[in-house]
Amino acid sequence: MNFQKNFLWGSASAAYQIEGAANIDGKGPSIWDIYSNIPGNTFKNTTGEVAIDFYHKYEEDISLMKEMGLKAYRFSVSWPRILPKGKGEINPKGIEFYHKVIDKLIENNIEPILTIYHWDLPQALQDEYGGWESRKIIEDFTNYCKILYKEYGNKVKYWVSLNEQNIFTSLGYLLKLHPPKKSNMQTFINVNHIANLANAKAIEEFRKHVPNGLIGPSFAYGPTYAKSAHPKDVLAMENAQEINNFLWLDVYARGEYSPLTINLLKSIGITINFQDGDKELLKKGIPDFMGVNYYSTATYRHITRKVANEINNQKGNTVQSDVKELLTDKLFVPAKNEFVRLTDWNWVIDPDGLRIALRRITSRYNLPILITENGLGAYDTLEDGKVHDDYRIEYLKEHITAIKDSINDGCNVLGYCTWSFQDLFSWLNGYSKRYGFVFVDRDEESQKELKRYKKDSFYWYKKIINSNGEDL
């Protein structure tokens, strides 16, 4: 089988990583505006205050998307650009900006895929009640969603509710790498449960306002492997799969937590704070598709078989967590996989892992899948206006082949959005970790002229789209 005729060959981005314009046209501060301005939180103290200035250069970038033949573009809306204080008064210039972006995409035959939340929580809500730590956020997030549904629901068919809930909760409340920079397992589980409820409520409301649209969360899926066939390693892998994957996927796709997950958490002293109506609400949040952000797999072993310092530290330009132990170490610990390659940031390169991820989702949930992110972060070099990124082409080629194999296995894959179309601000890594088809000429020290250059991968992906995945 080949890719379906209407397969969404796309690319993706996030508002804080590309837009810039952090303090103009009525936008309020997000938690990332504040966090990235605290020295030591990001590589070389870089911020998204200017980013790659998509706010002013969106027409230029969309013109490049049209030249490539892009079929879809996934972008996120900045909550504080719509609601500067997170609730209350709406910012009309924020509303207008996203209308212009969506209209320009549609004008160029590019399907807009709108992500409602990609980590830039309004700082006002963090200050008022602790953001995701309070159930008050469910109402505020729902009201924000309804504004977007009413404004853009007649233009946008595909919606992503929460981007990588597992990442913003774990890095924010376990590993101290994202705001609010905490490390407490019970707080992490509490926050995650509230986010699950907010996601379900957002989907419930979506059905009322955008009846012809499709919505789903975007999950950062890292399939689990066992270090060996030793039964204790296999059990450790099973435990990791429950805590690191099914803790989210089961709630999304089935509207309930797995009893195994609940009991594993209890075994390390952690409980889920159910209140009246929670279980009923979760059942109302079953998505139309599962969004998958795939970058790598993870290998685990039992703690009694732990090898000290087995996992390599990140070698790229980044900020690292100072958290040395987690409660889950009693259930599983990371292990090195000698059968895979590594990126410049020591992320595992495992194309077969994407096929495994798609098969596991299909087998367990039988939902359509939209690959909402996949890409290679690397050091790119601009020479005479050109970037020769054969390494990125090879990476994407292998992963597209894995998608095609998974379709032949029986998986229903709606589309493939690479991360990312343009180079962008990479959260903890500044601007040196580049993902895009388009090189943006800036670095941590200077924004320069933010000039755009098409990389070799730009022309390669254009051929992929033109041939509907046949000309690899």
Q: State the Cα–Cα distance between residues 446 and 380, nearest whole angstrom.
A: 17
Judge contact between 36 and 429, C-beta under 8 A.
no
Give how far the C-alpha of residue 460 lies from the chain's centroid of Cα atoms, to the nearest Å: 24
Q: Which residue has the tokens 């054969």?
A: 390
Helix H or strand E encompassing 438: strand 438-440
CA atoms within 13 A on the CB side of 29: 12
Peptide bond connecting 420 to the previous residue in cis, omega within 30 degrees of 0? yes
CA 271, 272, 275, 280 torsion-angle sign: negative
Angle at 118 between CA 175 and CA 12, to 5 degrees: 115
CA 162, 164, 169, 171 torsion-angle sign: negative
Q: Does the annotation mark 139 as catalytic? A: no
CA atoms within 13 A on the CB side of 259: 0
Q: Which residues are bridge partners to 162 per DSSP?
A: 117
Judge contact between 110 and 72, C-beta under 8 A.
yes
The first and second tokens of residue 10, run together, are: 């796309």
Judge contact between 131 and 125, C-beta under 8 A.
yes
Nearest to 300 by CA among 272, 330, 280, 323: 330
Q: Which residue has the tokens 């990479």?
A: 426
CA 308, 379, 33, 448 torsion-angle sign: positive
* Phi, psi for residue 196 in degrees, rounded to 5: -60, -45
Strands 158-163 and 72-76, by their bridges, are unpaired
Give how far the C-alpha of residue 418 lies from the chain's centroid of Cα atoms, to the nearest Å: 11
Q: Estimate the share of the chain in helix, then strand, then coil, as percent rounded to the nearest 5.
A: 40, 15, 40
| Most distant CA pair in the chain, distance | 63
Judge contact between 12 and 419, C-beta under 8 A.
yes
Q: Which is catalytic among the residues 373, 445, 449, 470?
A: 373
Peptide bond connecting 180 to the previous residue in cis, omega within 30 degrees of 0? yes
Tally of CB atoms within 10 A around 325: 9
Q: What does the DSSP 8-state code read for residue 113? A: E
Judge contact between 328 and 408, C-beta under 8 A.
no
- Give catalytic residue positions: 373
